[in-house]
Chains A and B, each alone.
Chain A
Amino acid sequence: MEEKILTKLFGLKDSHTIDVYLKHDGYKTTRKVIMEMKPGEVLEEVKAANLRGRGGAGFPAGVKWGFVPQNIDKPKYLCVNADEGEPGTFKDRYIMNHDPHLLLEGIIIASYAVGIHKAYIYIRGEYENVALRMEKAIEEAAARRYLGKNILGKGFDLDIYVHRGAGAYICGEETALLESLEGKRGNPRMKPPFPASIGLFGCPTVINNVETLSNVPFIIQNGAGKFTRNGLLKDGGTRLFGVSGMVEKPGIYELPIGTSLKDIIFKYAGGMKKGKKFKAVIPGGMSAPVLTADEIDINMDFDSLVEAKSMLGSAGVIVIDEETSMLDVLKTIAKFYSHESCGQCTPCRIGNAWIRKIVERIAEGKGKPGDIDNIHRLAKNMLQKTLCPLGDAAAMPILAITEKFRKELESYIGN
C-alpha cells in the first residue's frame, strides 16, 4: 500500500469542511508549529525533506525559503501558484476542491517559517467555483483562530487572500504572476533580481505551487525521514500524477516519486482505452518532450526524466494512441504556444507564430519539402534565447516531435 500524504481525505464526505478536517487531526501541525517550534526549526525540517517544487521546475522549497533576507524592514509575501495552466494538469484543482484546509495549513506553516504575514493564492480565473471554496475555507479557519491576528494567541499574524487570474497561461510563470498580481499585464520580468529579494510590490517574496505547500504539514508532523521514505532521498515524497488521454481510467494517482511510467499508464490508469494501441506519451504537462513506446520503462522523478531528455514538470501524463496523427498533436501544441506568448521576445513571438503557420499549412495539404526542417530550425532558434522559460517550453516538445516522428510528419507532405 502506498502512503497517502495529499489524498488521505479525498474520498470522504464533506472532506472540504473544517469539521471533517479537524476530525482527522487537521490543524494539529499548525498547533505544534505555533506553540512549540521556532521558525528556523521548521525551515531546517523542510530542507532536510528535499521537497522539490511541484509546479514544474523542481527547485527545493526549503532552499528557496532560505533565500529570503530576514533582517529587512519591508513586508514579505507568499504567492501560492494555483494558476494551473499547463495543459494536461489538474492536480491542484483536486487539492483545493477536496482538501482546501491542507493547503491553508501548508501556507500557515511556510509563512511562519519565513516570517510572512500576507499570502495571496493566485488561482486561474476559470476556477471560479474552486476560488469560492478556498474563500469559504479561509473564513472557517479564521473563525477558529488559525488565521488572522494573533493566531492561537501566540502573536503570529497571517492573512490569506484569494486572487483570481483571468485567462493567461503565462501568468503561471512566477514573475508574470507577480506582475499580474500587481495589476498589470502578465509580462515576465528579467531575473535577477530574484523574487526572494525583490518580488511582489518590490518586497521579498516566496512563490510556491499548491501541491508543494500541501506537503509541508506532513513533513513537519512526521519528520523529513518519513517523507523521504516515499520517493527518493534527493527527491522526496509522492506526486499527484494526473493521467489523461486514451486510457481506461483517467484521473489523479498519488504515488511515490520514482514510480514507473509504464505502471502509471498500464497498472494504475487501467491501460489503453478499449481497443486502442499505445503510440506515445507526454509525461509532465504539454511542455515535456514526448516519449515513445520504447522509452516508457522509466522512473518518474526529476533526474530520470532529464536523463531521457524530457521532464517531470507538472506530472501531467497525456497518453496518445496509434490512431492519433502526430501532425494534429503538433498543430495543437503550436497553436497553444503562439496564442500564449506574451510577445516580449522576438524568438518566442515570431518563432511560435511561424511554426504554427507552417504546421497549419501542412495540415491543409499544402506542405512543402523542407517544412519539417524549417519547423525544427525555428524551434531550435527559440531555445535558451528568451527572457522567460516559455520559449523553451514551446521549443522542447516541438523539437521532440519533429525528431521522433519525422517520418510520419514527412508523410503528410506531398512532393
Chain B
Amino acid sequence: MNPEYSDIRKKKIDELISGYPERRAAILPVLHITQKEFGQITSAEEKLVAELLDIKPIEVHEVVTFYSMFNQKKVGKYHIQICSNLTCTLLEAGNLLEYLQNKLGIKPGETTNDEKFTLSTVECLGACEEAPVMMVNFDYHGHLDKKKIDKLLDNLK
C-alpha cells in the first residue's frame, strides 16, 4: 500500500510549498513532515515526495542521502542522539556513550529489540554551554551524567 499523509499534514505541505517560487525548494521541510508522519524515509516515501514536488524520485534520494537527519530505516520510539564533538568530549561524553551502549545493549546506529530506543552519535548540537548534551527526539538534555541519564530513560514510557 502506498503511504498517505493525514489531512492536516497535507494542508501544511501545500501551505509550505506556496512559500517558494519553485516547488522543489520545499523539499527539506516536506521531508521533515514526511518523517514525522511515517517515521522514516524509504523509497516509498521518496516516491511520494517526488510526486508532490514534480521531480524524479532519484532527485529526492540524492537529497535524502546528503543530510544526516533523515532516517533511511525505522528508528525506535525514542531516538537518542549524543553529541561526540569537541566540548562534549572534553566533558566526558565518551564515557556517557559507553554507559548508554551498556545500558541499552546496543551500539550507535542500532535499535533495541523492543523498538523503543535507537542510539546515535551526532556532531555539535549547538548547545556546548550545556555539555555534555544529547537529544531525545527533538528535546535537548544538557549537563548530563549517569544519574541524569538513568532518570531520563526511566521516565520514557
Contacts and interface: CB of A to CB of B under 8 A. Distances in A.
Interface in B58-117: 62-63, 66-70, 84-87, 89-91
Given A166-B69, A167-B67, A339-B123, A242 B128 contact: yes
Nearest to A171: B67
Nearest to A269: B129
Interface stretch (B3-11, B22-30, B144-152): B22-30
A184 B123 contact: no
Interface stretch (A107-115, A223-231, A324-332, A351-359): A324-332
Interface residues of B, number: 42
Interface in A82-104: 84-90, 92-93
Contact of A168 (B27, B68, B124, B127): B68
A85 B126 contact: yes
Interface in A273-329: 282, 286, 316, 318, 320-321, 324, 328-329
A185 B129 contact: no
A165 B126 contact: no
B67 A165 contact: yes
Contact of A87 (B26, B128, B129, B130): B128
A252 interface: yes
B49 to A, nearest CB: 10
Interface string B113-149: 0000000001111111111000100111000000000
Nearest to A244: B128
A135 to B, nearest CB: 11
Contact of A183 (B63, B68, B129): B63
A126 B69 contact: yes
A243 interface: yes
A126 B125 contact: yes
B32 interface: yes
Instruction: Decide if the interface of chain A is mainly helix, strand, loop or mixed.
Output: mixed
A245 B87 contact: yes
Interface in A44-79: 75
B57 to A, nearest CB: 14
A227 to B, nearest CB: 26
Given A87-B87, A166-B69, A250 B32 contact: no
B21 A87 contact: no
Interface in A159-218: 159, 161, 163-169, 180-186, 201
B129 A251 contact: yes
B124 A87 contact: yes
A166 B62 contact: no
Contact of A250 (B25, B29, B129, B139): B129
B69 A125 contact: yes
Q: Max chain A CB contacts within 10 Å: which of B25, B29, B123? A: B123
A46 to B, nearest CB: 27
Nearest to B31: A166
B67 A168 contact: yes
Contacts of B125: 126
B53 interface: yes
A124 B29 CA distance: 12
A316 B135 CA distance: 21
A90 B126 contact: yes
Contacts of B91: 245-246
Which among A87, A161, A186 has the greatest number of chain B C-beta atoms within 10 A? Answer: A87
Given A88-B87, A320-B90, A332-B89, A183 B27 contact: yes
Nearest to A243: B129
A87 B85 contact: yes
Contacts of A84: 126
B80 to A, nearest CB: 13
Contact of A286 (B28, B69, B86): B86
A129 interface: yes
Contacts of B67: 125, 165-168, 186
Interface string A245-262: 110001110000000000
B32 A166 contact: yes
Contacts of A242: 128-129
Contacts of B123: 85, 87, 169, 336, 339-340
B109 to A, nearest CB: 14
B24 A163 contact: no
Interface in B28-65: 28-29, 31-32, 53, 55, 62-63
Interface of B: 19-22, 24-29, 31-32, 53, 55, 62-63, 66-70, 84-87, 89-91, 122-131, 135, 138-140
Given A129-B138, A335-B84, 18 more contacts: A87-B128, A89-B124, A90-B126, A93-B126, A124-B126, A125-B32, A126-B69, A126-B135, A167-B69, A167-B122, A183-B63, A201-B25, A242-B128, A243-B129, A245-B86, A245-B87, A250-B128, A324-B90
6 contacts: A85-B124, A85-B126, A88-B86, A92-B126, A129-B139, A250-B131
Closest 10 CB pairs of A and B: A167-B68, A166-B67, A244-B128, A183-B24, A87-B124, A167-B69, A183-B27, A185-B66, A128-B138, A250-B129
Interface of A: 75, 84-90, 92-93, 124-129, 159, 161, 163-169, 180-186, 201, 242-246, 250-252, 282, 286, 316, 318, 320-321, 324, 328-329, 332-333, 335-336, 339-340
